[in-house]
Amino acid sequence: MTQVNKDSKIIIVGAGVFGLSTALWLAKSGYKSVTVFDQQPYFTNSYRDGADGASADINKIIRFSYGKEIEYQSLALEASHIWDEWNQELANLKQSGEDAGLPPGLSSGDKLWFNSRMLRMSASESYGEFEKETLKTMEKEARLREKQFECRNEADIQRAQESGWGHKVDPFHRKELGRAHSAVLDSTAGFVAAGRSCLWALHLCRKSGVNRTDGSVYGIETEDSRSHSADLIIVACGGWTPTLVPEISRSLETTAGSIVTVQIPQDNQELWDRYAPENMPVFTWGMREGRGMYGFPRMEDGIVKFGYRATKWTNYDDINGKPLSVPKTAHTSKRETNIPLTALHAVKDFISEYLPELTPLGINSTRLCWYTDSIDNSFMIDHVPSRPGLMVCSGGSGHGFKFLPILGREVVKIVEGGKKNVYGEMWRWRDPKEGGKNNGLEEGVSGPRVLAKQKMASEKDWSFGGSSRL
């Protein structure tokens, strides 16, 4: 492990959530020479402009429901206080009439975090194990448990109505449709505008002195063939991490979630209002029951995003003679803008059944968004064994975004070494179980999730027709 001091030169490769949060907290902790590199245009941080890391997305869910994992629940709660502060700081900038050098794409008064509430729907008649464990773990933080409303419990429905959330208990009219509506409304949860939040973190990094510099011991080479050396290099490259640090490819796998959007026209006032964050919660349906569906209220531009993660796809390529799953997006050399037909059908079926008013609009876009799954879905943040001066900071496993404001605080502790705390232990370097289950990573090229084995959807599949198959 490399010993660092406040003058050490530190390079962070990757300006997604993991890289930005690390840079911010290193700078806040007094490190004077922190430089962030990214291969994509993270200064605008929009996937539309070519930034297509997992972080450069429209929106991401902020949730506190973590089954038995109280450590993540608590950290998410801590992060939520900073999300509140960040909203307030942007509102204050607006009030004082200052834009204070905000990056393009971000304006004073913009909101980053929307407390739209979140509806966790089971696809079956009863709660799954994860939901039961979530409610139990939340009891350990009483104020959090009080803010959960069980949608089949009359007293809770009454409580939700009194709190002003009655209209979010069953926005899909599942009860009218004769469904069990086994669900919990979390009034503390919601979503963040993802790319915009990264821009804010970038702005804070710059204000705190994160910069470009040259140093002396190890280095990276950028596309312009320039060498940049440093005492410590932190690779925070999301789905690209296993390609760059081959040792970690035994424990991290790059997989894709399927994203579908629908555009609500602004002149359709009824739909515009129905899908506003004030009226529509973030929702999940059958998340751990093989359905893996989630969706968001509309954004300011009318985009409603749906995600399907029942199957996370892999994309194996030959990387230096070894098969590794790598991102395939609208901006990679082997381009992909479609998603597997299975995923598109699942989203269309959900919309047809529960949100039929959207079907005349058809689908607006599809995209693959790349996770970095670890063997146990916990992050991987540690020094690389036998490679002094090199750390990895990755393994977001589909739930890292909410920690943007706080993750770096824990990364700094890991950078500095010493006795590991609970997060340092959870996120330590871990090897896969030999011959055992490793979160699907053991399937490799022969697995059923390989993208090349899927029938891909195309634009001709975007309109709705036929009957629902739920």
Ligand X SMILES: Cc1cc2nc3c(=O)[nH]c(=O)nc-3n(C[C@H](O)[C@H](O)[C@H](O)COP(=O)(O)OP(=O)(O)OC[C@H]3O[C@@H](n4cnc5c(N)ncnc54)[C@H](O)[C@@H]3O)c2cc1C
Distance CA 149, CA 38 (A): 42
Query: b/e map of 407-431 (b: 16 or more CB within 10 Å)?
Result: bbbbbbbbbeeeeeeebbebbeebe
| Residue nearer to ligand X on the CB measure, 13 or 358 | 13
Tokens of 386: 């036998």
| Residue nearer to ligand X on the CB measure, 58 or 138 | 58
Q: How far is the CB of 181 from ligand X (least distance, A)?
A: 23
| Residue nearer to ligand X on the CB measure, 239 or 340 | 239
Q: How far is the CB of 38 from ligand X (least distance, A)?
A: 4
In the DSSP assignment, the letter for residue 60 is E
Residue with tokens 């009454």: 158
| Residue nearer to ligand X on the CB measure, 172 or 294 | 294
Q: How far is the CB of 86 from ligand X (least distance, A)?
A: 15
Q: How far is the CB of 252 from ligand X (least distance, A)?
A: 10
| Residue nearer to ligand X on the CB measure, 113 or 401 | 401
Q: How far is the CB of 259 from ligand X (least distance, A)?
A: 6
Tokens of 366: 């599809």
Q: How far is the CB of 399 from ligand X (least distance, A)?
A: 5
- CB of 141 within 8 A of CB of 73? yes
Query: b/e map of 334-352 (b: 16 or more CB within 10 Å)?
Result: eebebbbebbbebbbbbbb
| Residue nearer to ligand X on the CB measure, 202 or 355 | 202
| Residue nearer to ligand X on the CB measure, 17 or 204 | 17
| Residue nearer to ligand X on the CB measure, 46 or 372 | 372
Q: How far is the CB of 9 from ligand X (least distance, A)?
A: 17
Where along the sequence are the contacts to ligand X (CB under 6 A)? 13-19, 37-40, 42, 53-55, 60-61, 236-240, 244, 257, 307, 369-372, 394, 396, 398-402
Distance CA 152, CA 158 (A): 11
Q: How far is the CB of 188 from ligand X (least distance, A)?
A: 14
Distance CA 173, CA 470 (A): 15
Distance CA 50, CA 223 (A): 16
